[in-house]
């Protein structure tokens, strides 16, 4: 089961206790569904748990029995003769040109979060955090998406919005914000799962970076060793290390004997020891001499 499907299933497991919150949850599902008007009022979902919540809340709270069509998707339609009453129940007039969010339906501090949960069940999705951090609400109308954006803003979160195929997609990309949104909607288990996946990913990335870094250092050491070996070979061909000035002689021999150590390690092998930059300076001199003698 996808992360999105699991999250939705979790969100249907425990429904709010307060009547006002259950209404707010239903309101979110109605507004996130296919149409919230006299012309059309339906919910299309592939999750049987969501269709169950939708139909039972409509029956409990509004005495509406939905018509259910089962195929690849469940399509739950509010009968035409019940739509006007339902719109009125949520404070909407049937003549409204566009669907807006009516805050009059929020009665307690938790109602807004329940509305968002309903909206997510009807038109939300979340990516698998293994591949991407993305949580979205595919809001069916532009004016409603603006209301949803400002609702998120009041809750303290900056969502983004783009248009996609006539819908307005309100979305989050920040993994920390997505964790908080999941918790707010009541999917704490999904938030925890996301945190765990993120930790494992971070550790994996960090060790990959460290391995890449080791590899880069190692090839630098190998390349330098090769260059020095070539220079020292030239010097040996032209009379040997004994021809070199005193401070370079010992280093030339130690380098010849230790072609694959780093400059710092090379400095430690000298007597007296020499710093990395001191070693580097003298090796450059050796290379310059070799170039001259060649």
Closest CA to 139 of 160, 153, 158: 160
Site for Zn ion in 110-129 (CB under 5 A): 110-111
Whole-number minimum distance, CB 65 to Zn ion, in Å? 25
What is the per-residue binding string for Zn ion in 61-100, x denoting contact by CB under 5 A? ----------------------------------------
The gap between the terminal CA atoms of the chain, to the nearest Å, is: 70
Residues between 136 and 195 that touch Zn ion (CB under 5 A) = none
Q: Give one DSSP letter per residue of 229-249, joined into a string.
A: HHHHHHHHHTT-GGGS-HHHH
Task: Name the phi and psi angles at 129, rounded to 5.
Answer: -65, -15
Structure tokens at 152: 């998120």
Rounded to a whole number of angstroms, the minimum distance from the CB of residue 113 to Zn ion is 9
Strand runs labelled E in the chain: 34-36, 41-45, 67-70, 74-77, 124-126, 135-139, 160-164, 167-172
Q: How many residues does the chain have?
A: 294
Question: Is the Cβ of residue 110 or residue 193 nearer to Zn ion in the bound state?
Answer: 110
- Residue placing its CB nearer to Zn ion in the complex, 110 or 179: 110
- Rounded-to-integer distance, Cα 79 and Cα 189, Å: 36
Q: Please work out the total of residues on this chain that contact Zn ion, with binding judged by CB under 5 A.
A: 6
The alpha carbons of the chain give a radius of gyration, in whole angstroms, of 34
Within 12-41, the residues that bind Zn ion by CB under 5 A are 18, 20-21
d(CA 269, CA 159): 60
Residue 26 beta carbon to Zn ion: minimum distance, rounded to whole angstroms: 12
110 versus 136: smaller Cβ distance to Zn ion: 110
- Complex with Zn ion: residue 111 or 185, whichever CB lies closer: 111
Angle between helices 142-154 and 111-123 (to 10 degrees): 140
Q: Between residues 21 and 57, which has the closer beta carbon with respect to Zn ion? A: 21
Structure tokens at 292: 């001259």
Residues 93-112 as x/- pattern, contact with Zn ion by CB under 5 A: ---------------x-xx-
From the CB of 151, what's the least distance to Zn ion, in Å?
Answer: 15
Output 112 or 169, the one with its CB closest to Zn ion: 112
Q: Which is nearer to Zn ion, 21 or 170 (CB)?
A: 21
CB of 115 to Zn ion, least distance (A): 9
Give the footprint of Zn ion on this chain (CB under 5 A).
Answer: 18, 20-21, 108, 110-111
């Amino acid at each position: 089961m996808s992360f999105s499907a699991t999250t939705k299933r979790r969100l249907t497991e425990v429904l709010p206790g307060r009547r006002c919150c259950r209404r707010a949850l239903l309101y979110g599902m109605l507004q996130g569904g296919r149409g919230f008007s006299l012309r059309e009022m339906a919910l299309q979902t592939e999750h049987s748990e969501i269709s169950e919540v939708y139909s039972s809340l409509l029956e409990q709270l509004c005495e509406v029995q939905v018509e259910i069509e089962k195929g690849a998707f469940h399509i739950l339609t509010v009968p035409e003769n019940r739509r006007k009453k339902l719109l009125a129940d949520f404070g909407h007039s049937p003549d409204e040109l566009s669907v807006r969010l009516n805050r009059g339906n929020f009665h307690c501090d938790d109602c807004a979060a329940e509305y968002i949960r309903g909206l997510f069940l009807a038109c939300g999705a979340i990516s698998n955090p293994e591949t991407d951090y993305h949580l979205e609400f595919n809001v069916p109308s532009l004016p409603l998406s603006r209301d949803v954006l400002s609702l998120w803003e009041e809750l303290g979160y900056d969502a983004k919005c783009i248009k996609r195929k006539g819908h307005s997609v309100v979305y989050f990309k920040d993994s920390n914000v997505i964790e908080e949104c999941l918790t707010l909607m009541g999917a704490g288990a999904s938030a925890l799962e996301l945190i765990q996946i993120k930790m494992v990913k971070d550790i994996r990335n960090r060790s990959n970076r460290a391995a890449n870094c080791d590899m880069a250092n190692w090839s630098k050491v190998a390349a330098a060793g090769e260059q020095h070996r070539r220079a020292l070979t030239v010097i040996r061909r032209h009379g040997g290390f004994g021809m070199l000035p005193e401070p370079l002689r010992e280093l030339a021999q130690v380098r010849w004997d230790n072609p694959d150590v780093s400059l710092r390690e090379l400095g430690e092998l000298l007597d007296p020891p020499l710093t990395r930059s001191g070693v580097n300076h003298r090796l450059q001199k050796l290379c310059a001499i070799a170039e001259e003698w060649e």
